[in-house]
Chain A
Amino acid sequence: MALPAHKAAGVRPAAPVALLVLAGIGAAFFLIPLIGLVLRTPWTAIWDQLRSPEVLTALRLSLLASLSATAIALVVGVPLAWTLARLTFPGRAVLRAVTVLPMVLPPVVGGVALLLAFGRRGLLGGWLATTFGVHLPFTTAGAILAETFVAMPFLVITVEAGLRSMDSRFEDAARTLGASRWTVLWRVTLPLVRPSLVAGAVLCWARALGEFGATITFAGNFPGRTQTMPLAVYLALETNPDAAIVLSLVLLAVSLAVLIGLRDRWLGSS
């Protein structure tokens, strides 16, 4: 490009020193805790720690709960995203607000709300207990429910955005070829929004894996039943700091993997 030299140089403004210093402090604020975590990791004992029953139990439970939460979110969250993206009806804005509220709601408040809904004397809890004999609070199912509550919005908004940006004329084309609404959904719509589905599910799973507040409030902290990794980390910090650090490191590794996996979506290439 034949730009005059002074113009080309003008594209990059001179940075005020004060701004750079503040930016450095901001970056250090993120970086130093991570360095601390890595430096304090008992690398030699890491394998033993990972195989210790309390870490393994928490790990196993966390995987079960977060994957179940993701599965539930896929089953009901994708239809919800489709409804929000494709249908116009009164109250759609309210429905969307309700759907994404858990993203900004303090998770503890979510836990309290879940107790009031599914607790022994909750809105549905009593009926669930007497009709089906189902008790959700302080059970693994309860932990899954709490994680779903907090994590599903990530899936819903990601998939909804994918559905909105998709060219819906592909669906028209499928219908003129004789595809029923279900066939269109399964063979055209969902395959075309697959990147959004994958990203949404991964985000949802990562959020579920890290869930703490709603889980401990609604499901409690019972090892093997409701004590997921974040809860175990919190508890182990006083009794067995090495286990806490190793568990934290596992969660950090998962977060990094998610970030790298979704880098095209979030970090961009520029």
Chain B
Amino acid sequence: MRLGIGSFELDVDLKVEPGEVVAVLGPNGAGKTSILRGLAGLLPLDVGRVALDGVVLEEPVASVFVPSERRPIGMVFQDYLLFPHLTVVDNIAFGLRSRGTPRPAATTTARQWLERVGLAAEAERKPGSLSGGQAQRVALARALATNPALLLLDEPMAALDASTRVELRRDLRRHLESFRGVRLLVTHDPVEAMAMADRLVILEHGRVLQSGTPAEVTQRPRSRYVADLVGVNLFRGRASSNVITIAGGGSLMATGASDGEVFAVVHPRTVALYRTRPDGTPRNVWEGRAVDLDFEGDRVRVRLEGTPAIVAEVTPAAVRELSLDRGDPVWVAVKATEINVYPA
């Protein structure tokens, strides 16, 4: 699908298999919500195609546009958007009533849904008096009550307190598993994405940077965004007989690199620091300058300027022994075998 809203462009090719939970992960402003709105028919596409179970819902070239209200979708909005003037049970029955189910039958189904999400006692309350977690479950029940083929979730945990998030994430995961249709979730929270999804799609500036299982994505990041999320050093460059010339300056020697454009990942734990130039086995040795020391429990992340710039993770004891402080020059060493190289 491709959308254009003012200067913002979105160009995304996304395929979700039945039974799969896919999370679109990206920073704010990457176009995540626009994808959901596009799929829901709330934001018309300029070019592209939206198809669900083989049925085309939207294709501007062919003048196909199925309006939101006739798409078999359910959507959970970021702040849930429960109708404040309706009771909880009427909120859930809303979709069925809108699709022509008579009131008694719609109410019965809505009550069954409330039962399933454990909120039967709250049926007659107004949404304003619910807790965040309860509101989330009502929103989910409302979206699923119409039995949609596609469930869209926009930052489902963002409106919740950090303290209740872990438990509610488990609950949500359980509810999502009981739904058999296609599930697509967008979030800017990597923990949420990895906890909920079978597959991640990384989105930045309206483009898909990477897609794969959480394990694949974290082991082989293809963007600065993912590398920062995972906390590793990512270099991009051109490899030629095991020497990688880095795009931003500097070079690294690595083993097993195939020639051509590559990504190289160096875990901060494998970066060694020395006060004087080391003469040992490491193939990659260069002089840098510590610009930042970040104490995180029993580890210190040292951000280093140099060619290339890199982040090292050492113990507080090591920092003391080196008497390393901000602005100090320091030698950096990385073993060639510790560099993970894969084609770009």
Residues of A within 8 A of B (CB): 167, 169-170, 172-180, 183, 187-188, 191-192, 194
Interface-central residue, A170, A178, A179, A192, by most chain B CB under 10 Å: A178
Provide the residues of chain A in CB contact with B189, threshold 8 Å: none
User: Chain A binding site: helix, strand, loop or mixed by DSSP?
Assistant: helix
Residues of B at the A interface (CB closer than 8 Å) are 37, 40-42, 67-71, 73-75, 77, 81, 83-85, 94-95, 98-99, 142-143, 146, 152
CB within 8 A of A176: which of B42, B84, B85? B42
Please name the residue on chain A nearest to B99 by beta carbon. A178
Q: Are A188 and B83 in contact (CB under 8 A)?
A: yes
- Across the interface, B98 reaches (CB within 8 A) one of A169, A178, A191, A192, namely A178
Cα distance, A8 to B236, chains bound together (Å): 60
Main secondary structure of the interface of B (DSSP, over half): mixed
Check if B94 sits within 8 Å of A175, measured CB to CB. no
A179 and chain B: residue at smallest CB distance: B98
Shortest CB–CB separation between residue B96 and chain A, in angstroms?
Answer: 8
Q: A241 to nearest B CB, angstroms?
A: 49
The docked-state distance in angstroms from the alpha carbon of A173 to that of B73 is 11
Q: Do A172 and B42 contact each other (CB < 8 Å), given the known contacts A177-B146, A178-B69, A192-B85?
A: yes
Q: How far is the CB of A163 from chain B (nearest CB, A)?
A: 15
Knowing A177-B142, A177-B146, A191-B85 are in contact, say whether A172-B98 is a contact too (CB < 8 A). Answer: no
A170 to B81, CA, bound (A): 6
Q: How far, in angstroms, from A169 to B77 measured CA to CA in the complex?
A: 9
Contact B74 A170 (CB under 8 A): no
Measured between beta carbons, the chain B residues less than 8 angstroms from A192 are 83-85
Say whether A187 contacts B94, CB under 8 Å.
yes
| B74 pairs with A176, CB closer than 8 A | yes
Taking CB atoms, residues of chain B closer than 8 Å to A174 are 83, 94, 98
Could you tell me the distance between the alpha carbons of A187 and B70 in the complex, rounded to whole angstroms?
A: 18
A194–B86 CA distance with the chains assembled, in angstroms: 13
Q: Are B70 and A178 in contact (CB under 8 A)?
A: yes
Cα(A172)–Cα(B85), bound, Å: 16
